[in-house]
Structure 1
Amino acid sequence: MTRRLLFSYLTLAVLLLLALEIPLGFVYSRGERERVINAAQDEAESVSAFASLSISMGRAAQDLPERAAHCAERIGGNVLIVDQAGVLLASSHPLPEQERGRLASQPGIAAALRGTATADVRTSTIGGVEYLAVATPVTHGAVRQGAVRITVPTRTVHERVHHVWLLLVAGGLVALIAVAVVGFGIARWTGRPIRALEDATHALALGGTAVPVAITKGPPEVRSLAATFNRTAARLEHLLASQRAFAGEASHQLKTPLAALRLRLENLENDIALGARGSLTAALTETDRLARMVEGLLAMARLDESAAEPEPIDLALVCVERHHAWRPLYERHGVWLALAGDYTGKVLALPGAVEQILDNLLSNALRMSPPGSTVSVDPRCQKTPDRRFPHRPTGAGWVELHVMDEGPGMTDEQRRRAFDRFWRAPDAPKGGTGLGLALVQRLAHASGGEAVLRRAPGGGLDAVIRLPAAPSRTGIAPPDRRRPARPPQTAAPGRG
């Protein structure tokens, strides 16, 4: 902001200086030219009067050369005096013979010999030098006696004009330096509270404590903004503190009554009639479902208030660990859990996010998979553009994690709504809460990735999690991915 303000101040200063100094320079140039012309005219009239007196007294040959030389030295130019016939009487500089014979025909001298009342001012080039020529008639009463021509080199005028332009440029630079110094101070004074607001905003965005910003410095608008920020930050900190308190206390406050409720329901099993056993089993199932729903809500609450940054996670290692953890449960249900794909290296994700994503996807896949089917966990390196992620960059910097089942799958409309909280497919098995896929998507987004559902090649569901790849290092060996033998085909027990 300081640079932008300083640039705007300097731009305005430059425009103002150009608007003032350029016209001033041209006005001075024109005035300097007119001053030199007027001075030459006055000098020519003075020499003309002296020449008239000398010619009348018959002393032209004695007095005029000295006068011409003295005048030429004073003005820094040349002085030429001729009689009425155009014959040279005096000259401050030597003239060739051929030029002496053409003096009467030169425009300025010819006009003066005709007795022109106004001086004839012409700009001519003599000897390669540009001169300003002034010619005046020499008269005694009504008698024309000759003419005087004074030539002044325009170099003198140009030097004076250049000197003035240099003074104007130097003055403009001094003014710009002064504006830069003053503008920098004003910009720093104006931007200091805004930088403080920016630092406080960054600290608040990264999960730090909201530090109040001073509201006694800077322009009134910035002070008002600082006051509004302080109120907003204080309110936000209060809300976050309340949410943290809820996330920390709700687990104990909710889990304990649910556990007690389940225990009491289980104790009723021996005292309840056989006809009511079905209702008791349904109540226990709903209690378990409520407990899982509480766990999902608490996980989302903790994710909302978490400010953790993604860090490198070994995706292949996590897949192996979750495969070993879920394989026994899959075997009891008669479903084969396969681990495929190549070593993909590390991905960037929140701590624990990949484990939670896999647990939720594997749990959903198990509920939807019939006995004898296969669920595949397949991490892949994504190197080509993918139309399923139009708003995400593509290339070698992304890794896809596929969890594919051979269940009934979902329609296009169901796949679009599957990530909504508490939404469950009409034909979904009992026991779900409608929060698993919503949590998966939130974890993927918080890790800088994306989650999408599509139809699997075998007709089931293909859950695709796309995560950014971490910078790779050479010399890392892939983890041991030994697969267990396929379990025997057995009837699956009831699914909860």
Structure 2
Amino acid sequence: MKTKLGVLVVVSVFITTGLLLVALKTSTELRFITVFSIIATLLITQFFAHGLTAPLDEMNRVAKGISHGDYTRRVLGADRRDELGDLATTINLMADDLEAVDRHRKELVANVSHELRTPIAALRAVLENVVDGVSAADPETMRTALTQTERLGRLVETLLDLARLDNGVVPLRAHRFEVWPYLSGVLKEANLADAHRKLASGSGRHTRTDVHLHLDVSPPDLTAYADTERLHQVVANLIDNAVKHSPPHGRVTVLARRGPQPESLDLEILDEGPGIPEQERHRVFERFNRGEVAFPHGKGSDGGTGLGLAIARWAVDLHGGRIGVAESTRGCRIRVTLPGIPVRRQLT
């Protein structure tokens, strides 16, 4: 744009100078030369101005459409090699992001509605049977109601984690802890939750109690330095993902090793499922990615809202660590590396 404005000034000066030279040689009156010079300058200015303002008008229309919720419109002329082309590209990228966010929002509402409907319907059925006298309020019936209530609680906790993720910085309450008893507790909680779920769903169906959870910590007195609450989110979500894609009577192994730094920790979660295609490995930790491509016959990467693995990555990033899908000859292998000293980071 600076170049075009500079050309406009130079051309206008040349035209005026040329007309003045013509006037001196032909004895033309100065007033006619002035009029011709002004008209020529205005015509050239109008030509350049149209090339500058037309894209701005289009950008204005697209921006107004975006402000009213129309994320499908795009600015033409993004291939221009000037500031207006850069601005058009930026607006189109913004529209793409907003369209993706709007689509994810709708997917989240649909997914959460679906996830809420099932336990609420089951809980209502149990309570109605108790009230109507069809079922007695015995421990087994109450255990079924408790299982559905816990499922609702897990969904609400997932949504709270998403809110924390969006809010940016979350303070870490890191401390030194023994890895073996800590991970043993996490696996025990997973087994208890699976037992409750099996009672609620009935026998004869493949549930997570069919999957054997194995813990391997070396050395046995291994210690680490991390926020145990956030680490619980990581391990629980990864185990949840692994067992959902394991075959009946399969095996999920949690490996814990000492990292390269003092109090650092290397974790691996291995399953015997179908694994994740290499071209999909970079997407499994994205929000709302339910893994329809990677797991076309399953429930998705986390079988629910598509937030479990995204929350796991968020918790690992909060520590300044790394998480990813590692090579494996069978099933899926998720590797987590936590540094010895956690780093507070501003997540976006």
Q: TM-score range by the shorter chain?
A: 0.3 to 0.5
Greater C-alpha Rg: 1
Indicate the structure with greater strand content: 1
Higher RCO structure (Cα 8 Å, ≥6 apart): 2
